[in-house]
Chain A
Amino acid sequence: MPFEEVRPLKIAVCVKAVPDTESKIVVAADKSNIDFTGLRFITSPYDEFAIEEALRIKEKLGGETVVLSVGGAETTDVLRDSLARGIDSAVHLQDPAFTNLDSLSIAKVLAAAIKDGGYDMVFLGQQGVGGDNSQVPGMLAELLDLPQCTMTVKLEVEGTNFKAEREIEGAHELVEGTLPAVFSAQKGLNEPRYPSIKGVMAARRKEITVKNAEALGLAGKVGNGVAPLKLAEMAAPPDRPQGRLIEGDPDSQVKTLVNLLKTEAQVI
């Protein structure tokens, strides 16, 4: 039997703190972002699949899991949430220069933190709820010069090989590749666990490493004024116009409706 090198996997999970999906979002007065006051931040729901997959792979094959996040003070609780679910350690990528970053800049910060870390697998949610750009996973893979499997709904790892299913329009695509690689998690990949009270207790005792732009070798290289993309202004969508009630008996209601669909909505 050939000798197989058993090397524990090192797995990175990139997560984002997003406003609770139930909260009411208001644009900040200076229109640079949403107003953070009073908002509760949670782990972006797609990232929960990423965390869960990392934990399952670690439980099955052994190894180490590290969670990373770019963000401000609101990110601490979200990193603790990952730790409470069982992730081993956390890195908070925090710097005034990292405020309001565009997707490419976020990918650059993550890449700087991951690149020399000896990671075999990098997981992300397939999109961050709120921004919904779905850009960071692909950009990160490119910057790290690693193969990528986005929209992952099934994943198996054997040695340094992986087999995965990706969700594509109306079908699943089967892909195979070798580690290291970057994966973005889509709904359906797994059923995320809840943080347990024991996990929460353990998480409170774990340290969160903070790295700023300088520590990452990014001083003056990302954010304010350097990014190729600039957010000009954020605005709330216009109020939806009031619906119209069509009165009358069913016969005339149907006639009016058909007429309106033809003349006003011009859909038939």
Chain B
Amino acid sequence: MDFNLTEDQLAYQEVARSFAQKELAAHASGWDTKKTFPKEAIRKAAESGFCGVYVKEDVGGLGLTRLDAAIIFEELAAGCPSTAAYITIHNMVTWMIDEFGTPEARAKFCPELASGESFGSYCLTEPGSGSDAASLKTTAVKQGEYYLINGTKAFVSGAGESDVLVVMVKTGEKEISTFIIPTTLEGISFGENEKKLGWNTQPTKAIYFDNVKVPQEYLLGKLGEGFKIALKGLDGGRINVGTCSVGAAQAALTHAQRYMQEREQFGKKLAQFQALQFMIADMATEVIASRQMVRLAASKLDGKDAQATTYCAMAKRLATDLAFNVCNQAVQIFGGYGCTQEYPVERLMRDARMHQVVEGTNEIMRVIISKKMLEEGATLQIR
């Protein structure tokens, strides 16, 4: 067993890091305050390959593993967690079409998504169904070679700016299916941009579907497989949001460490106060523990491990909780300055806070984990 990154992975990390420092970190604060969705920067990210990292090469992706992706996305998130998180959602959407789409849909949508020409969104949540996602109400009714879609999706990341939606709908009383819906179709409208705590560099809106006519080739997988497909997407989504948290926490740790060597009070550097020394010790430990948990879950998913879903839920829960802690502590170390937008730590904290809720709340992660752990023999399987 080797815990070191391969030469290739080190090279990907370097590319992502230098991109993130120049193209994301330098602008993140301005995007956050002005609520700018940085399309140009995301397109540049696509040129480097970051918009189709684990999408197959024949449709324009890089064909890399989830572990590779976790390494890359962590670096992007260290630059701007919010923008990086959107890029990961875009990757998830592109992968779902690559994996479950008809050959026509793959050929039509994946190349434009992977190249950043168009943007993707994932639409599962509805106003009345969040954690209990399967209780969704949006419907698709067959009409000749089309499906007619009606209903409302809530909290859609990228909505209003994105071009390609993957949408979970009811195709029967107890049957959920997933469709690709291009936003150019007739009958789609958007709600107001949510005013949010964090993730301010990406819009979040409701989407209304009013008799939207979707060609049947835009079905992902088979009828009735939609919820399974939605959850498959989320396994990867949870690693992604975990790794975005690790990136945010790593950035907060780096800023805090520097600040402790600069700032003086009572005639001493902050670094000389034991209370803060212990904080930095815990922060570093928690960043590394989170990173390793995320990478373990990613490699379980790469290896198609039967328990991958549980590991992904564990990684999401642990990394997003610990990373928020680390960012919060960084704000504390910065004191009053940490509460101002002059330094990036408050933004990192606000973005990291979102991650404890999105892609399934951390309570839902515990529901998933505990359900598995109480099965016969689970303590032998999951370790």
Contact = CB atoms under 8 A, between A and B. Distances in A.
Interface of A: 80, 84, 193-198, 200-201, 204
A200 B7 contact: no
B44 A197 contact: no
Interface stretch (B10-18, B131-139, B161-169, B225-233): B10-18
B49 A204 contact: no
Q: Is the contact region of chain A dominated by helix, strand, or loop, or is it mixed? A: helix
B7 A197 contact: no
Contacts of A194: 15, 18-19, 22-23, 44, 47-48
18 contacts: A84-B11, A84-B15, A194-B15, A194-B18, A194-B23, A194-B48, A195-B15, A195-B48, A196-B47, A197-B12, A197-B15, A197-B50, A197-B53, A197-B64, A200-B8, A200-B12, A201-B62, A204-B7
Given A193-B47, A204-B8, A198 B15 contact: no
Contacts of B62: 197-198, 201
Given A194-B22, A197-B53, 15 more contacts: A80-B11, A194-B44, A194-B47, A194-B48, A195-B48, A196-B47, A196-B48, A197-B50, A197-B72, A200-B8, A200-B11, A200-B12, A200-B15, A201-B8, A204-B11
Contacts of B48: 194-197
Contacts of B23: 194
B11 A198 contact: no
Contacts of B11: 80, 84, 200, 204
A195 B44 CA distance: 11
Contacts of B47: 193-194, 196
A204 B62 CA distance: 15
Contacts of A201: 8, 62
Interface in B252-300: none
A204 B11 CA distance: 9
A193 B15 CA distance: 12
A152 to B, nearest CB: 23
Contacts of B19: 194
Contacts of A204: 7-8, 11
